[in-house]
Chain A
Amino acid sequence: MSTSTVTTTAPADRPADEKTPPRPSRRRGESGLLARLTTHGVLTVASLIALFPVAWLVFLSLGPDKDDYLRPGGIWGKMTLDNYTFVLQNTNFFDWLKSSLIVSLGTTFIGVLVAATTGYAVSRMRFPGYRKFMWVLLLTQMFPVAVLMVPMYQILSDLQLVDSYLGLILVYCSTAVPYCAWLMKGYFDTIPFEIDEAGRVDGLTPFGTFARLILPLAKPGLAVAAFYSFITAFGEVAFATTFMLDDEKYTLAVGLQSFVSEHDAQRNLMAATAVLIAIPVSAFFYLVQKNLVTGLTAGGTKG
C-alpha cells in the first residue's frame, strides 16, 4: 500500500500530545490518493470490459440490416426497433419462451422438492455411507455432457420421450437434483444446531424438526437452489440442441441458433432476440444476486 497520502482529517484516535508523526496517518481502510485512483482506474476498465459485449449486442440489435454488424458506424443514422417487432410477431419466440419456461420451472420444482430433505439429512446426520454419498453428489457435478448424452438419447427414444418436455426435464434433473442437495446442505449448515436441539427437546420428531422449524428458516437457501437450477436449465445448450427436434419446442438457447443457418444469417434478428432473452433473465438475476452469493459461498465456506 502506498504511503503518499494527503490526509484531510486529523485522526481522532491519536493522543493530542503526540508530536512525532511526520509520517502521514490515515484511518484504517482508507488508502492513498494514488492508490484510490489506480483502484478506480482498474475497476472502470474492468467494468467497461464486462459491459461492452452486452452493450454492443444491444447496439447491433437496433440496426435494420443483417450485415450491419460489419458496418456499425452506419447504424447511428437508421436506428429502429423493427427487429424487435419482427421477432415478436413473425418468429416462434413465444413458443420458445414457453418451452424454456416449462422445462426450467419443471426442473426447478422437481430439483428443490426432491433435494430438500436430503440437504438436511447430510447437513445434520452422520450415517454409514455418508462420505460415499457426498462423493456421489460431487461426482455427478463432474459428468461431461458427453457421458450421459448418448445413453440418455437411447433410453429416451425407447420411451418415446425425445422431443418432449418431460424428457428434457428428466435429463436436467440429473444435474439439478444433486446440485440442489449440495447447495442446501451448505445453507442448512449455517442454521444453528441449537434450533434442532430445542425442537427435539420439545418432542418433535426429526422430520418434524425439519418441516416445522428448519424449512421455514431455510427459505433463502431454497430460493438460491431454485434460482440456480432455473438459470442452469434455462441456459443449457447441448441437451436441448440434441433432444428438441420440433421447431415449436425449441428452448430459447436452441431457437437463437436457428437464426444462423448455412444459407442465411439474420444477425440483426438474432441480436434482437438475444436482447429480448437477456433483459428478463438479467433483471431477475439482479433481484436475487445478493441471496445467490451468500448461498453459494455458504456452501463453499462451511465444512
Chain B
Amino acid sequence: MTVAIDRATGKRRGDRAPRPGPVSRLKRGYQKHWYAYAMIAPVALVLGVIVLYPLAYGLYLTLTDADSLNSARTIGVNEIEATYKFIGIDNYADILWGETAYDRFWSKFVWTIVWTAACVALHYGIGLGLALLLNQKLRGRTLYRLVLILPWAVPTFVTVFGWRFMLADAGIINDGLSALGLPTPAWLEDTFWQRFAAIMVNTWCGVPFMMISLLGGLQSIDASLYEAAEMDGANAWQRFRHVTLPGLRSVSSTVVLLGVIWTFNQFAVIFLLFGNTAPEAQILVTWAYQLGFGQQPREFAESAAYGMLLLAILVVFTSFYRRWLNRNEQQLAI
C-alpha cells in the first residue's frame, strides 16, 4: 500500500503525470493518503463539532435580532420559545455605518489598532533588547533569565490585580510619582491614562514570551557567521544588522504574527484592569463581550457580529502578512 510520507522519503510532489478524471483521482488520492486522513480525523472532527458548527450558528445569529429577551430560555418550569427573527445584514450595517457608528465602532477600532501596534512593538523591541543582553557570556545570566520570565510564569489574572493595587489613586505608583514631585495621573479613571496603563500592563505581561523565543532564535544562529563577519571587518552594528537580524527572521515573523493575534484578542488585561468602568479604554474584544454579556438586556446578535468583524479583520491581516512574507521568500512556520 502506498502511503504518502514524502518528507520522510524525500520524494517531491512536483512530478505529476497528466491528470486523470475526478473519480479515479479521488480514489487514488484516498488510497494514497488514507493514513494521513485517518490521523487528522480526530482533530478535524473536534474542530467541526466545537468550532465550525458554533461558528456557523454564530454567523446565523448575527443575521437576526437575537438578544436575551427573545432567545429561548427557561424561567423556573416555563420554557419560552425563541422569538427572534431574521433581519439580514442590518447588524453589520448598523455597526459599520449606522448612527453613532463612529463612537461605537470606529473609535474603538482605531484604539484597538493603536493598542495592538504599540504593544507588539514594545514586546518585540524590549524582548529583543533583553534577549541580546542575555545572549552574552555573563555572570548571573540564569538568575536574570529566571526573574525576567516571572510575568509569564504567574497567571495574568493574578498579576493584573497586583497592578490594580499599584495603579489605584493612592497606590504605590502615584506615591512614588508624587514623592518625585511629578504629577499623579488618575490611572484608572482618566481615558488617556487608562489607555496608557493598559498598554503598560500588557507590555509587562507580554515581554517574557518574546524575550525567550528570540533568545532561542539567537542561540540557533551559527557562531561562525559572526566570526566571518568580524574577519570581514564588520562592526557591532553591522554584525547585528547583517547577521543577527536575518538569522532571527523566521522566529520573528512567527512570534510577531502570534503577538498581533494575541494582543488584538487580549481580553483579560483590559477586562480585569477596568471592569466595565472604562468605556473609552475598551478594545473591540472587550467591548463585544460587554455588549453580549456585561449588560442587560444582552445583545447577543450584535456581540456576535462584532466577533465576526474581528475575525474578518484578523483573517485579512494574516493573509496579507503571509503574502508579504512569501514575496520576501520566507516561509511562515505555521
Q: List residues of chain A with CB under 8 Å of any chain B CB.
A: 1, 28-31, 36, 39-40, 42-43, 46-47, 49-51, 53-54, 56-57, 60, 69-70, 72, 114-115, 117-118, 120-128, 133-134, 136-155, 157-158, 170-171, 173-174, 177-178, 181-182, 186, 193, 196-197, 200, 206-207, 210, 231, 234-235, 237-238, 241-242, 252-253, 256-257, 267, 270-271, 274, 277-278, 281-282, 285-286, 289, 293-294, 296-297, 299-303
Residues in B whose Cβ lies below 8 Å from that of A154: 57, 61, 71, 300
Residues in B whose Cβ lies below 8 Å from that of A120: 39
Q: How far is the CA of A137 from the CA of B46 in the complex (A)?
A: 12
Please state if B29 and A128 are interface contacts (CB–CB under 8 Å).
Answer: yes
With A115-B43, A200-B5, A303-B250 as known contacts, state yes or no: A237 contacts B318, CB within 8 Å.
Answer: no
Please state if A29 and B271 are interface contacts (CB–CB under 8 Å).
Answer: no
Residues in A whose Cβ lies below 8 Å from that of B77: none
Please pick, from B159, B251, B288, the residue contacting A53 in the complex, using a CB distance under 8 A: B159
Residues in B whose Cβ lies below 8 Å from that of A51: 147, 150
How many residues of chain B have a CB within 8 Å of chain A? 108
Please pick, from A42, A124, A289, the residue contacting B133 in the complex, using a CB distance under 8 A: A42
Jot down 9 A-B pairs with beta carbons below 8 A, ordered by A: A117-B39, A140-B51, A142-B311, A150-B292, A193-B8, A237-B267, A285-B153, A289-B153, A300-B217
Tell me what chain B mostly uses at the interface: helix, strand, loop, or mixed.
helix
Q: How far is the CA of A151 from the CA of B254 in the complex (A)?
A: 30
Residues in B whose Cβ lies below 8 Å from that of A127: 4, 29, 33, 36-37
With A72-B172, A297-B251 as known contacts, state yes or no: A134 contacts B51, CB within 8 Å.
Answer: no
Residues in B whose Cβ lies below 8 Å from that of A293: 212-213, 215-216
Please pick, from B157, B171, B271, B310, the residue contacting A70 in the complex, using a CB distance under 8 A: B171
Which residue of chain B has its CB nearest to the CB of A117?
B39
Q: Mark B155-179, 1 if CB is under 8 A from A, else 0.
A: 1111101110110101110010000
Please state if A147 and B220 are interface contacts (CB–CB under 8 Å).
Answer: no
Which 8 residue pairs of A and B lie closest in terms of their CB atoms, listed nearest first? Answer: A147-B307, A146-B288, A297-B216, A146-B307, A151-B58, A121-B39, A57-B162, A285-B153
Residues in B whose Cβ lies below 8 Å from that of A114: 42-43, 46
With A50-B147, A50-B148 as known contacts, state yes or no: A144 contacts B165, CB within 8 Å.
Answer: no
Q: How far is the CA of A123 from the CA of B285 in the complex (A)?
A: 33
Please state if B155 and A118 are interface contacts (CB–CB under 8 Å).
Answer: no
Q: Does B258 contact A (CB under 8 A)?
A: yes
Residues in B whose Cβ lies below 8 Å from that of A157: 72-73
Please pick, from B42, B235, B292, the residue contacting A149 in the complex, using a CB distance under 8 A: B292
Residues in A whose Cβ lies below 8 Å from that of B148: 43, 46-47, 50
Please state if B7 and A256 are interface contacts (CB–CB under 8 Å).
Answer: no
CB distance from B201 to the nearest CB of A (A): 9
Which residue of chain B has its CB nearest to the CB of A274?
B158
Residues in A whose Cβ lies below 8 Å from that of B157: 235, 237, 252-253, 256
Beyond A114-B42, A293-B213, 5 additional contacts (C-beta under 8 Å) are A47-B147, A50-B204, A53-B166, A57-B159, A140-B51
Please state if A141 and B261 are interface contacts (CB–CB under 8 Å).
Answer: yes
Residues in A whose Cβ lies below 8 Å from that of B217: 297, 300-301
Please state if A124 and B51 are interface contacts (CB–CB under 8 Å).
Answer: no
Please state if B333 and A148 are interface contacts (CB–CB under 8 Å).
Answer: no
